[in-house]
Amino acid sequence: MASANVTQVTDANFGAEIEQLKGLAVVDFWAVWCGPCQAIAPVIEQLAEQYAGKVKVAKLDTDSNQATAVRFNVRSIPTIMFFKDGKHVDTVIGADPRVKSILEGKIQQHLP
């Protein structure tokens, strides 16, 4: 399912993979049963390829990793969170038809 450019993160490695990262990370909080999550998955993959080497793109399955989802108050999915130098700086919730341009805008806003 995931491309080589998308990192699968878990409760166990979220701190090391995202919160200790220098730079920008985009984390897609999703679940297998979530239709809108499946709908935006190709966009997440495209952004991971497009920004490879500039932005870390990760996915966290909220069913398997509830502690991290609860910690960041994820109440509906898909939720895409932006972390800059390990700090949560922005969030996009839902599968808007313009999701790619919305996410690209947020990436550009937070890239150095």
For the chain, the domains span: 6-110
* C-alpha dihedral sign at 25, 1, 95, 60: negative
Topology of the domain covering 6-110: Glutaredoxin (3.40.30)
The torsion of the CA quartet 63, 14, 36, 82, rounded to 10 degrees, works out to 150
Cα–Cα distance between 70 and 12 in angstroms, integer? 14
The pLDDT value recorded for residue 2 is 53
Torsion angles phi and psi, residue 55, rounded to 5:
-135, 135
> What is the tens place of the pLDDT at every residue in 61-109?
999 999 999 999 999 999 999 999 999 999 999 999 999 999 999 999 9
Catalytic residue among 18, 26, 27, 37: 37
Catalytic residue among 9, 18, 25, 34: 34
37 is an active site residue: yes
Stated pTM of the model: 0.96
